[in-house]
Structure 1
Amino acid sequence: MTSVSMIRPAEASAVASIKGCTRQYPGVLALDNATFTLASGEVRALLGKNGAGKSTLIRLLAGAEIPDSGTVLIDGAPLTQTGSGRAQEAFEKGVRVVYQELSLVPGMTLAENLFLGRWPRKGGVIQYGAMEAQANEAMASLGLDLPADRLVAGLSPAERQLLEIARAMLGKPKIVILDEPTSSLAAAEADKVMAAVTRVAAQGVAVVYVSHRMNEIRQIAHSATVMRDGKIIDTFDVKGANTREIVRLMLGSEASQAAVLENQSQAQTVLEVRDLALAPKLSSVSFSLKKGEVLGIAGLLGSGRTELLQAIMGVRDFDAGDILAYGKSVKSVGYKEMIRRGFGYTPESRKEEGIVPLLGVDENTLSTDFSSVSRSGVLSVSLMADATRKIIERLHIKAARTDTPIGTLSGGNQQKVVIGRWVYAGSRILLLDEPTRGVDIEAKAQIYAIIRQLAAEGRSVIFVSSEIEELPLVCDRAIVLRDGMLQEEFKSPNIDQDRLMAACITGH
């Protein structure tokens, strides 16, 4: 790979530098003596698996975090504030961040959103004419031709992302950081965002572009920095970079050891998905799941993994295709119907969608079927406690009492309750979306063991995870979702995380 210094224009100057920065949280070394330099007009891709340190590095540049040691310089001058004013200091020096979760207000106009919180005023009155004129100028610089008085609610996903970038361009910034800007976009919409990024860089603004999509990175980035375990591993010229070598840098040189799993799957097919389409994420997805099998689905953020599970579970309508459960077509797909057919679903966002924090472990566990713990239509405290205790003991959930509010439990124990809900319900097919997100290493191992035990009992599991290294540890088979379709398949014990990652990030 080529040193990044060889690809920068000779006249380019360093607009941001992180020198020997370390940042530690309780039990986690998030950034380890990192050094990072960015030039004006450069588009730098920032690569690394989850937990590599990318977010911490971004937060240092934006002034949202203070390093335990080391220096952060913007345009040659160090950030000196030590409190909440540090982020404002970085902003005033020209640093802008567009986070993955957009912060637009749908009921306001484009101009109002662009100047949100800092509307131009004169005598206490908002100057709408001046605001809309500046908004039009900012949007035109990105090729966004929309009326400034239009409501954000009517914009497409790509237009919303472009509006966020346009807001970042106000005030002539020096650095714009984009966190997975195309993760929720279809290919055609992603092209519009990438064209805007090219325009931003052409104005001399440095861009940090966080993404795993190699086809995008090759199109717009001059250079790439790979992070792993809080360290800057390498920075190189994107042109001619080998995808497999990039994957090796992201995952580490040590060979991944595939778990030796005893495949419990049987001949019976319990689920078939045929040519399922759900625009804009899924175009034609087909696969089958056997009794007692743990099937992993790998793919980048925004690849449609969550939408696929939601379509199967009846949470989201799909455009075309067929779903067969135990050989019979599911004509009317609905959430209650799929529960009746023996399906269970744990959502990606546990706190927002998986639990009711103020309710007890018992109520969260038994919510799929209160009838069996009721007498004459009235909930029985003793029956609820007995039923919940069985799940607590079976899944090794740590809770002081069966009626302990679930919000007081650790993330790992909360997640085990969410899975236990479907064990209690007797679900035979479990759709698990990121079941180990936000839990510690010990809890992860326990969840893996629970999943393997459920498979040994003849239940079937679809396991979605962003952490590629998990799949060999728990799955009998893994399939890769990319570009709206399933692209490659791997079977245990030959689920190699390097090849799996390469399959996820290689575009057409």
Structure 2
Amino acid sequence: MTTASRMSQTIAPVVASIKGCTRRYPGVLALDNATFDVAPGEVRALLGKNGAGKSTLIRMLTGAEIPDSGTVLIDGVELTQTGSGRAQESFERGVRVVYQELSLVPGMTLAENLFLGRWPRKGGVIQYAMMETEATEAMARLGLDLPPDRLVAGLSPAEQQLLEIARAMLGKPRLVILDEPTSSLAAAEADKVMAAVKRVAAQGIAVIYVSHRMNEIRQIAHSATIMRDGRIIDTVDVKGADTREIVRLMLGSEASQAAVLEDRSCPEIVLEVRELALAPKLSSISFSLRKGEVLGIAGLLGSGRTELLQSIIGVRRFDKGDVLADGQSVKFAGYKEMVRRGFGYTPESRKEEGIVPLLGVDENTLATNFPGVSRNGILSARRMAQATRGIIDRLHIKTARTDTPIGTLSGGNQQKVVIGRWVYAGSRILLLDEPTRGVDVEAKAQIYAIIRQLASEGRSIIFVSSEIEELPLVCDRVLVLRDGAMQEEFKSPNIDQDTLMAACITGH
């Protein structure tokens, strides 16, 4: 008998259950015969790497997804509706979810935000007094003492997150699901959210807490369910669970894989970061990057990886510290100056920040240096096609024409174009933020090969990824960013996945 089955027998009654649920998408088995339940007053942590099936399981409970097989029950009653009616059915039975992305309107009051989309009316008139009374009561249940007529724009990040949770407390919730609620918060603010979670559970409400931060999970969770490849692997008692064992369950057989890369970088330092700080995420960051090196930055969601790259490239102005390129300080140089010095940056959000979907592959590729394909100040179609074809051939981008709208390409080919933009520009230091997010396995392998080839040519690369398992496959060295500083260093060929993951999720 598994730990999960033992616990399900000892904890009763059950607020929500998933029994033998399977959900398939084209080419993907998102949930594989999953069985899961949670009891009143229990805080259940839900763990698993990206793509493990956590989001699909949550969407089953909220009614946003219908299983291909299996049943979903709330208080022992099966969800039977289809379409939007299923989500309403789940909501009416007390299931609430607070997603990682905040959905507040800054220009509205706390009360207006809590009742957003369902403001109480009488005779067509909004009942503000009723809203403010109920908003005050909902916030008080979390220990949040704020005037309901205050604007959300004046709240701290922690207060905004607490307001999202307070919205879930309206009515009579039976189950509250929190998706990475502290990912964007500093440690002190995260403590306020965890205190609120304890209050929620103390009221007999079941809580599902999605996070990778073991220090938080050990403070508030009674048990942890680990998912991998769409399957529920086990449910363990948090107090008695060893972090490395949890990592092994999350990674499975992949945990034994190790990097076999040969570090061919040279001793020359091309980039140095000294005691860089950017509140509230980064407190003191120091490291160096060598010529021809692929340096990985590992860390949990919200650890400050993106903010670090943006500080280096000049998109963000950091609070203190220094950045040196080739031994010269470029503190506060700005984005244009850093690009002029040979830096390139691919953003985490490819679709929103990395490409212009309606423009061609050629325009997206050549955007860093249009003068190079111009004649007398006018873009030359022949030169554009020739330059773009060179990048397409080099990076093996699949497109019928050089002027094909980039939005019609697959995610992997779009990402190759984003990287190719800086290859075309001749950039020698590349800052890559989640360069394989949203691409298939084949495209990932191709991007790894591209990065290794660029490094062999003498380019230096910082590779940021939340997918721990890919870092040993492409990086010469990996630094772990945690609690605002670089905590540990791993060097190829001795980069072990389970040790790396454990270093990321270990608390203070």
Please say whether Structure 1 and Structure 2 have the same fold, judged by a TM-score greater than 0.5: yes
Mean Cα deviation higher: 433-442 or 2-11: 2-11
CA apart distance, 1:2:
10
1:407 partner amino acid? G
CA apart distance, 1:253:
4.2
2:172 partner amino acid? K
> Is the CA contact 1:479–1:489 (under 8 Å) kept in the aligned structure 2?
yes
> Is the CA contact 1:8–1:42 (under 8 Å) kept in the aligned structure 2?
no
1:289 partner amino acid? L
Question: Superposition pairs for residues 160-199 of structure 1, below 5 Å?
Answer: 160-199=160-199
Secondary structure of residue in 2 paired with 1:14: coil
> Is the CA contact 1:7–1:222 (under 8 Å) kept in the aligned structure 2?
no
- 1:130 corresponds in structure 2 to 130
Mean Cα deviation higher: 493-502 or 324-333: 324-333
CA apart distance, 1:459:
0.1
Whole-angstrom CA distance in 2 between matches of 1:83 and 1:157: 34
1:201 partner amino acid? A
> Is the CA contact 2:17–2:73 (under 8 Å) kept in the aligned structure 1?
yes
CA apart distance, 1:385:
0.8
Mean Cα deviation higher: 440-449 or 247-256: 247-256
Secondary structure of residue in 1 paired with 2:101: coil
- 1:400 corresponds in structure 2 to 400
Matched, 1:73 2:76: no
Whole-angstrom CA distance in 2 between matches of 1:191 and 1:177: 18
- 1:113 corresponds in structure 2 to 113
CA deviations on 1:140-162 (whole Å, 9 max, x unpaired) are: 11011111011111111101100
CA deviations on 1:296-338 (whole Å, 9 max, x unpaired) are: 0000000000000000000011001010001111143200010
1:290 partner amino acid? R
> Is the CA contact 1:64–1:87 (under 8 Å) kept in the aligned structure 2?
yes
1:138 partner amino acid? A
Mean Cα deviation higher: 234-243 or 280-289: 234-243
CA apart distance, 1:8:
8.9
**Alpha-carbon distance change, 4 to 446 in structure 1, aligned in 2, over 3 angstroms:** closer
> Is the CA contact 1:482–1:504 (under 8 Å) kept in the aligned structure 2?
yes
Whole-angstrom CA distance in 2 between matches of 1:390 and 1:254: 37
- 2:238 corresponds in structure 1 to 238
> Is the CA contact 1:45–1:224 (under 8 Å) kept in the aligned structure 2?
yes
- 2:314 corresponds in structure 1 to 314
**Alpha-carbon distance change, 9 to 149 in structure 1, aligned in 2, over 3 angstroms:** farther
- 1:33 corresponds in structure 2 to 33
- 1:464 corresponds in structure 2 to 464
- 1:455 corresponds in structure 2 to 455
> Is the CA contact 1:448–1:474 (under 8 Å) kept in the aligned structure 2?
yes
CA apart distance, 1:259:
2.9
Matched, 1:439 2:428: no
Whole-angstrom CA distance in 2 between matches of 1:216 and 1:7: 22
> Is the CA contact 1:4–1:237 (under 8 Å) kept in the aligned structure 2?
no
CA apart distance, 1:4:
6.3
2:271 partner amino acid? L
- 2:329 corresponds in structure 1 to 329
> Is the CA contact 2:11–2:39 (under 8 Å) kept in the aligned structure 1?
no
CA deviations on 1:59-79 (whole Å, 9 max, x unpaired) are: 000000000000000011000
CA apart distance, 1:264:
1.8
1:175 partner amino acid? L
Question: Superposition pairs for residues 255-274 of structure 1, below 5 Å?
Answer: 255-274=255-274
CA deviations on 1:468-507 (whole Å, 9 max, x unpaired) are: 1101110000010000000110111111010000000000
Secondary structure of residue in 2 paired with 1:357: coil
TM norm structure 2: 0.98
Secondary structure of residue in 1 paired with 2:15: strand
CA apart distance, 1:236:
1.4
> Is the CA contact 1:294–1:455 (under 8 Å) kept in the aligned structure 2?
yes
Whole-angstrom CA distance in 2 between matches of 1:87 and 1:276: 46
Whole-angstrom CA distance in 2 between matches of 1:156 and 1:162: 10
CA deviations on 1:102-139 (whole Å, 9 max, x unpaired) are: 11111111000000011010001000001000000101
Which segments of 5 or more consecutive residues in structure 1 lack a partner in the other structure? Answer: none
Mean Cα deviation higher: 478-487 or 2-11: 2-11
- 2:283 corresponds in structure 1 to 283
> Is the CA contact 1:2–1:237 (under 8 Å) kept in the aligned structure 2?
no
Whole-angstrom CA distance in 1 between matches of 2:11 and 2:394: 65
Secondary structure of residue in 2 paired with 1:72: strand
**How many residue pairs were aligned?**
508
Matched, 1:382 2:382: yes
> Is the CA contact 2:317–2:332 (under 8 Å) kept in the aligned structure 1?
no
- 1:428 corresponds in structure 2 to 428
CA apart distance, 1:3:
4.2
> Is the CA contact 1:468–1:501 (under 8 Å) kept in the aligned structure 2?
yes
Matched, 1:248 2:228: no
2:162 partner amino acid? L
Whole-angstrom CA distance in 1 between matches of 2:253 and 2:424: 43
Whole-angstrom CA distance in 2 between matches of 1:7 and 1:283: 41
Whole-angstrom CA distance in 1 between matches of 2:69 and 2:478: 42
Identity of aligned residues (%): 85
CA apart distance, 1:172:
1.2
Matched, 1:157 2:125: no
Secondary structure of residue in 2 paired with 1:353: helix
CA apart distance, 1:267:
1.2
Whole-angstrom CA distance in 1 between matches of 2:425 and 2:93: 56
